[in-house]
Structure 1
């Protein structure tokens, strides 16, 4: 027992680590490390002071940082041919070496490097994060194809908030004194995270998760709480002075919040693990009957793909998989590139200069740190919100995603104007708006590329798209902001601590940020053009292609149980078995042992697949195919059910020619059964002409369809019938019948008669003695002895309850009931479990239930009790020894006995006598001294007879016998009853 629990625990741990949700948790941590590029504004001031750089040189370093973080084409090409763990190893190595060299230079442990050396270090350090971005983003988009906008927003959001998290970790570990140690943290922290989780980030078989969106929202809530806490911590650190212990406490809370996605992953995997243990039920399946797999058609043979150069200008439709050159030379990619260059380039240029902007406007150093944190936090909010909002607007309201991309450009443009025309506290607002706008643009760029150009070359294409960011950043940052800043600084001619030119006042950045706002507005117009071009594409189902490729079980670990309700051969379970094996990647035993697999591992895999297939078979088939290998099992099934033997042909042909449609059967269900039989005949090499199919279809229709048969017969004359024409005519006839209100007639009446029988006192004399075959009765259960194989009428055992009832002196016949007609003075209540697999006719013939729905039965009294409803009310129901009882606590609510196969309860009906309105007429007639009908109508019209609605006078025997001249009443011709006039003598005396 203990060993089994330990084994299950190890299996569960392995399932968690290999699951998709743990991969998402690991991706969050890796993307936090990738946020190191957003703290460049913090340590760039140290580099400027240590190496005596000008603002133009600092901006050049910022350009190489942006170039490295967005030049991911090499990482994309490597991802096309190598697994993700290779990218993590390469990126971790570059990250550690580059940042460690920068730290050695800043601490003077090595000689001062040349400026181009420092540009190289910065570029390689930023480019190292690109390998992690490529591995994580491409893998996650392929693992969640229907939620790509949401998953991209969450992942890029953690990149944005990574700057604030790394800053808090730096303060907790190294304190606030020396900012050079921040570079040391950036060298080892992302490296360790990537190496620890490098094997968990991998493509996983896409399975439809019913609660996938709910889990995404849970992750969103956690990330928002984390961002709000970081915002609170940043504002608090501005207002108060924190000690080292205070910084460590804040970092501990951040670590606790980051562990919640891990708990969510464990919860989801535990639900799947628990469901896996409950779904292994080998008793619910059907027999297999399938046709052999046909040879591939000519149009199904895959042709060799043309070369990239020959198909550059022969582009596929939007949403299909483009080649790299097809995508690069498309107009849509050009519009995306220009939009990202203008919008993201302007945002990066503004973020890189935020520290210098704060100094020029006389903000304290602590406020400059807050600017960086606000940028990072609202960058996160922009990314996650744009992912969820754009995904909702696109899927539900069919709005193109480039339209939301243009709105993000406009928001960034507003934030840049707060810097161009500053006022007191405007930089705080600009940090929030620019951070949110830039964060909203990034995931939408990646999502638009994946939607328009497919996922096959996504690793390279999205890296090419983000290459526009460093180009725009260089043009706007170095050639515009840097030069205009140095030009204004030369005018002022001031230096800071004797090192480099320094500019103060709003004139330093007013002109340059006005240009940035104009460029961003142009990017918004470009995005609107892209939205107009792709409006028809986004009106369709963008994710339909990926949704069709998904396997949709109820759980990731579920065994596939075939059709546990309908035990027939109408479907083809073999195809389902093969699809299931392929979805689990267990199809190798069907193709033979691979050369690179060991004998022991092969036997284990073959036994696993063998057990999986056996779980899809009924018990009688399992005993017939007790093979020890998968190939032996499949061959045995093929010989049993796919072999074109004479026996199979005779059976299918007999069933096909004797097929008859019932009156109450919909024509669509009948045509479906007809087509299934045709397919099975084709599978055993038994085909007929289309005219034979058409004639047999007409023959199978019931008698009520005779007018349609006659119409088709008269219309075709000497032409041959076509099966398609007869089928279409049958469908049209059913539609006509429904429109005209013609209800189908049922050929069988299912009822139970309880009461007096016409054959009174003669026992079983009225029962039919048909000579049906034993094979037909082999599935029936005798109601007399309880054995299988015959009916009660043919039972040789002593008959039970053959005597007639003493109280009614009648014979009673009881069968299973669908409609119950009760002829008695009291109600009969029937206990019903609601579980009906078949309905039996009065002669014992079963009918399959082909549909289940809800029917509202209007009854004068509810004479059917649902056990489910009684149980919901807290009642206890017990059955045994032919009796039943319903109790609630110590009170017995109802009891009854078993009658046939029904549990009934006979209850007396409570009746309330109500005076008919006609008796009021008789009452007023007597009170008024037997006034004539004419006189009563005069009084009634005058309103003198209260409570009387109408004068409805019947025969009054007292008036008839009391008159001297007897005249019959005009309304009724009934003769008076002479025996009932004694009351008149008592009232008026003898006459």
Structure 2
């Protein structure tokens, strides 16, 4: 098989990995049942959402491992951590293990959350190193599929059990434990760094992958809408998603079987020429790092906390469509992660002139989403969920590019894990705040709060915190204007990628 085909096959592999790696995103789908079955309080449940994110505190370990171990081994280690973390919880739920301590469940959730970092690290490394001239495209496309994880898991469970079945929780936990390991073993032979000397001539393949990815997202969104999802069986949605996940294989196969009648010129990455390689210690001394850290903290992290609490928020509003909301958030998160790379690829240096500038706009939209939640209607809940999920996904995707462009690609596996280490901190602070304010609204003698007042103060405070993130993004935008101006000039001045016939080259 040609190195070019292996290059595309590695992209297919990380797409599959990311599509099942968002195990924490399906927590809202079973959190209420999980809380009931293990007799937890709302605060304890909120702390479990924090525990999943707390695993990212040790994400840098996966970065060091990826620099020292084969990537297939990093994949197996990461997915095995998830097998233990979710698998033991599954045994507790089905009463194979008895009387679980809350702190045992907490530590198992931390372990499961850390497993996501290992798989993410492998996916980022493969995307950045195998597609040097198109790293933003490879990262954006692959990470967008992680936004579909919640929908994929939900469709699997709902195709097996009704929405009120008591077996939903144990099925989610079982899938969370075995599916990432199974897919990791399946793709480990070709998810590795391939030596591909020519980075040009990828435009057709990139275009086809984009079209497949967009079609996948459109299908996911339409099958998540209440008016349509009620008419289609979950099995139909699941089969459709699986078919779309198989389509990228066609690009890899085409690259392998087509005749080599063209010889592309090497393409120089303008960003690579402009960016500086910075190690973790030096990065921690830079003001731009802390601004980037703060923007992510008050943006993507805050959005993730909202999505982690989506099940409880929907329950407080007497919404019966929790699964539909989770699928809706997954679908818009998918497009949010994809949109930056789509714009950057097809309109280089025009629409995406400055990534911190886009973060300003996205954080502003998130503020509007939080304030819109103050209205007590199902439409405001659905609209805000779509806005917050989409913006969270976009900031998550853009942050990967910002880390690479401002601090270099050589130490990315460690540097970006330090950036996302703010997720557990934000999850604890924002989640605890939400739990505290929620409990204040619970009537005396009642076990839970029902009504829009339950989270009204939470949404107002979260919206204000989002404004703080917007201001930090403005400062980062001002500080990096010269860098992105230089990058834009290099993109505009670089010659177009020519594809020369072999007869001329020879």
Match of 1:528 among 446, 453, 474: 474
Aligned to 1:436: 390
Aligned to 1:38: 25
Structure 1 residue matching 2:98: 3-state secondary structure: coil
Does the aligned pair in 2 maintain the 1:345–1:476 contact within 8 Å? no
Match of 1:538 among 484, 488, 491: 484
1:368 aligns with 2:314: no
1:339 aligns with 2:312: no
Aligned to 1:15: 2
User: Matched residues in 1 for 2:230 and 2:412: separation?
Assistant: 47
User: Matched residues in 2 for 1:395 and 1:141: separation?
Assistant: 20
Aligned to 1:388: 342
Question: What per-residue deviation string (whole Å, max 9, x for no partner) do you get for residues 256-310 of structure 1?
Answer: 2111100111112322xx116x99xxxxxxxxxxxxxxxxxxxxxxxxxxxxxxx
Q: Which has the higher strand share?
A: 1
User: Matched residues in 2 for 1:209 and 1:348: separation?
Assistant: 35
Alignment of 1:23-102 (within 5 A): 23-69=10-56, 71-102=58-89
Question: What per-residue deviation string (whole Å, max 9, x for no partner) do you get for residues 947-979 of structure 1?
Answer: xxxxxxxxxxxxxxxxxxxxxxxxxxxxxxxxx
Does the aligned pair in 1 maintain the 2:29–2:154 contact within 8 Å? no
Does the aligned pair in 1 maintain the 2:279–2:415 contact within 8 Å? no
Structure 2 residue matching 1:53: 3-state secondary structure: coil
User: Matched residues in 2 for 1:48 and 1:424: separation?
Assistant: 24
Does the aligned pair in 1 maintain the 2:226–2:324 contact within 8 Å? no
User: Matched residues in 2 for 1:234 and 1:398: separation?
Assistant: 29
Does the aligned pair in 2 maintain the 1:318–1:453 contact within 8 Å? no
Judged with a 3 Å threshold, the aligned counterparts in structure 2 of structure 1 residues 348 and 71 are, in CA distance, closer, same or farther, namely farther
Structure with more contact order per residue of length (Cα contacts < 8 Å, sep ≥ 6): 2
Match of 1:446 among 363, 376, 400: 400
Question: What per-residue deviation string (whole Å, max 9, x for no partner) do you get for residues 627-659 of structure 1?
Answer: xxxxxxxxxxxxxxxxxxxxxxxxxxxxxxxxx
Does the aligned pair in 2 maintain the 1:149–1:388 contact within 8 Å? no
User: Matched residues in 1 for 2:318 and 2:460: separation?
Assistant: 21
Structure 2 residue matching 1:163: 3-state secondary structure: helix
Does the aligned pair in 2 maintain the 1:383–1:436 contact within 8 Å? yes
Aligned to 2:451: 505
Aligned to 1:197: 187
Q: Which has the higher helix share?
A: 2
Aligned to 1:908: none
Does the aligned pair in 1 maintain the 2:5–2:253 contact within 8 Å? no
Query: 1:207: how far off?
Result: 3.8
CA RMSD of aligned residues (A): 2.6
TM, length-normalised to structure 1: 0.47
Alignment of 1:450-849 (within 5 A): 450-478=404-432, 480-489=433-442, 492-495=443-446, 501-541=447-487
Judged with a 3 Å threshold, the aligned counterparts in structure 2 of structure 1 residues 98 and 238 are, in CA distance, closer, same or farther, namely farther
Structure 2 residue matching 1:420: 3-state secondary structure: coil
Query: 1:26: how far off?
Result: 0.9
Query: 1:238: how far off?
Result: 6.9
Query: 1:322: how far off?
Result: 0.8
Judged with a 3 Å threshold, the aligned counterparts in structure 2 of structure 1 residues 519 and 115 are, in CA distance, closer, same or farther, namely same
Question: What per-residue deviation string (whole Å, max 9, x for no partner) do you get for residues 816-869 of structure 1?
Answer: xxxxxxxxxxxxxxxxxxxxxxxxxxxxxxxxxxxxxxxxxxxxxxxxxxxxxx
Aligned to 1:186: 176
Aligned to 1:322: 278
Question: What per-residue deviation string (whole Å, max 9, x for no partner) do you get for residues 136-181 of structure 1?
Answer: 1122112222322222221111001121112112233456432121
Query: 1:554: how far off?
Result: 5.7
Aligned to 2:370: 416
Number of residue pairs matched?
491
Question: What per-residue deviation string (whole Å, max 9, x for no partner) do you get for residues 227-267 of structure 1?
Answer: 2222232336876376xxx4333322222211110011111
Judged with a 3 Å threshold, the aligned counterparts in structure 2 of structure 1 residues 233 and 241 are, in CA distance, closer, same or farther, namely same
Does the aligned pair in 1 maintain the 2:89–2:105 contact within 8 Å? yes
Aligned to 1:225: 215
Does the aligned pair in 2 maintain the 1:85–1:201 contact within 8 Å? yes
Does the aligned pair in 1 maintain the 2:24–2:113 contact within 8 Å? yes
Aligned to 1:639: none
Structure 1 residue matching 2:224: 3-state secondary structure: helix
Does the aligned pair in 1 maintain the 2:334–2:390 contact within 8 Å? yes
Mark the runs of 5 or more structure 2 residues left unpaired by the alignment: 264-272
Does the aligned pair in 2 maintain the 1:410–1:520 contact within 8 Å? yes
Aligned to 1:216: 206
Aligned to 1:692: none
Query: 1:106: how far off?
Result: 1.2
Larger radius of gyration: 1
Query: 1:535: how far off?
Result: 0.7
TM, length-normalised to structure 2: 0.90
User: Matched residues in 2 for 1:471 and 1:360: separation?
Assistant: 25
Does the aligned pair in 2 maintain the 1:16–1:265 contact within 8 Å? no
Structure 1 residue matching 2:373: 3-state secondary structure: helix
Match of 2:129 among 127, 131, 142: 142
User: Matched residues in 2 for 1:380 and 1:426: separation?
Assistant: 20
User: Matched residues in 2 for 1:398 and 1:421: separation?
Assistant: 33
Structure 1 residue matching 2:194: 3-state secondary structure: coil
Query: 1:334: how far off?
Result: 0.6
User: Matched residues in 2 for 1:253 and 1:563: separation?
Assistant: 44
Does the aligned pair in 2 maintain the 1:347–1:438 contact within 8 Å? yes
Does the aligned pair in 2 maintain the 1:33–1:189 contact within 8 Å? yes
Structure 2 residue matching 1:502: 3-state secondary structure: coil
Query: 1:513: how far off?
Result: 1.2
Structure 2 residue matching 1:332: 3-state secondary structure: helix
Does the aligned pair in 2 maintain the 1:31–1:155 contact within 8 Å? yes
Structure 1 residue matching 2:260: 3-state secondary structure: helix
Question: What per-residue deviation string (whole Å, max 9, x for no partner) do you get for residues 762-810 of structure 1?
Answer: xxxxxxxxxxxxxxxxxxxxxxxxxxxxxxxxxxxxxxxxxxxxxxxxx
Mark the runs of 5 or more structure 1 residues left unpaired by the alignment: 1-13, 280-316, 496-500, 565-991
